[in-house]
Amino acid sequence: MGFSTLLASTLCTVLLPLLLFLAAVKLWNLYCVSGREPGCNLPLPPGTMGLPFFGETLQLVLQRRKFLQMKRRKYGFIYKTHLFGRPTVRVMGAENVRHILLGEHRLVSVQWPASVRTILGSGCLSNLHDGQHKHRKKVIMKAFSREALQHYVPGIQEEVNACLARWLRSGGSCLLVYPEVKRLMFRIAMRILLGFEPRHTDQDSEQQLVEAFEEMIRNLFSLPIDVPFSGLYRGLRARNFIHAKIEENIRAKMSRKQPAGGCKDALQLLMEHTQDNGEPLNMQELKESATELLFGGHETTASAATSLITFLGLHRDVLQKVRKELQVKGLLCSMNQDDKQLDIEVLEQLKYAGCVIKETLRLSPPVPGGFRVALKTFELNGYQIPKGWNVIYSICDTHDVADLFTNKNEFDPDRFMSPSPEDSSRFSFIPFGGGLRSCVGKEFAKILLKIFTVELARNCDWQLLNGPPTMKTGPIVYPVDNLPTKFIGFNGQI
Residue-wise pLDDT for 423-434, tens only, equals 456 899 999 998
Q: Identify the weakest region by mean pLDDT among 190-199, 386-395, 449-458.
A: 190-199
Q: Is 234 exposed, middle or buried (0-12, 13-18, 19+ CB in 10 A)?
A: middle
Domain membership of residue 95 (yes or no) is yes
Position 155 scores a pLDDT of: 92
Q: Identify the weakest region by mean pLDDT among 232-246, 256-270, 316-330, 344-358.
A: 256-270
Position 257 scores a pLDDT of: 62
Domain membership of residue 32 (yes or no) is no
Q: Are the CB atoms for 189 and 143 separated by under 8 Å?
A: no
Average pLDDT over residues 395-423: 86
Residue-wise pLDDT for 208-257, tens only, equals 888 888 899 888 888 788 888 888 999 999 999 999 988 887 887 777 76
Average pLDDT over residues 316-330: 96
Domain membership of residue 8 (yes or no) is no
Q: Identify the weakest region by mean pLDDT among 77-81, 112-116, 272-276, 371-375.
A: 272-276
Position 451 scores a pLDDT of: 97
Average pLDDT over residues 313-331: 96
- The one-character DSSP state at 47 is B
The answer to whether the pTM exceeds 0.75 is: yes
- The one-character DSSP state at 80 is E
Identify the H or E element spanning 129: none
Domain membership of residue 288 (yes or no) is yes
- The one-character DSSP state at 145 is S
Of 196, 442, 165, give the one whose Cα is nearest residue 301: 442
Average pLDDT over residues 182-201: 80
| pLDDT above 80: residue 38 | no
At 31, the pLDDT band (50, 70, 90 cuts) reads low
Q: Identify the weakest region by mean pLDDT among 154-158, 256-260, 406-410, 485-489.
A: 256-260
Instruction: Report DSSP letters for 291-360, one per residue.
Output: HHHHIIIIIHHHHHHHHHHHHHHH-HHHHHHHHHHHHHTT----TT-GGG---HHHHHH-HHHHHHHHHH
Residue type present at position 69: Q
Per DSSP, what are the bridge partners of residue 486?
A: 174, 463
Q: How many domains in the chain?
A: 1
Q: Are the CB atoms for 483 and 176 separated by under 8 Å?
A: yes
What span, in angstroms and rounded, lies between the C-alpha atoms of 213 and 476? 12
Position 35 scores a pLDDT of: 47
Over the chain, what is the mean pLDDT?
85
Q: Are the CB atoms for 144 and 441 separated by under 8 Å?
A: yes
Average pLDDT over residues 78-100: 94
Domain membership of residue 14 (yes or no) is no
| pLDDT above 50: residue 98 | yes
Domain membership of residue 116 (yes or no) is yes
Of 262, 249, 157, give the one whose Cα is nearest residue 200: 249
DSSP SS3 for 223: coil
Of 242, 191, 189, give the one whose Cα is nearest residue 215: 242
Domain at 410, CATH number? 1.10.630.10
Position 280 scores a pLDDT of: 65
Domain membership of residue 13 (yes or no) is no
Containing structural domain, residue 163:
39-489
| pLDDT above 80: residue 260 | no
Residue-wise pLDDT for 430-462, tens only, equals 999 988 888 889 999 999 999 999 999 999 999
Half-sphere exposure at residue 323, Cβ-oriented, CA atoms within 13 angstroms: 20
| pLDDT above 70: residue 207 | yes
Q: Is 460 annotated as a binding residue?
A: no
DSSP SS3 for 430: coil
353: left (phi over 0), alpha (psi -120 to 50) or beta: alpha
Of 457, 446, 475, give the one whose Cα is nearest residue 367: 475
pLDDT above 70: percentage of residues in the chain:
85
Domain membership of residue 107 (yes or no) is yes
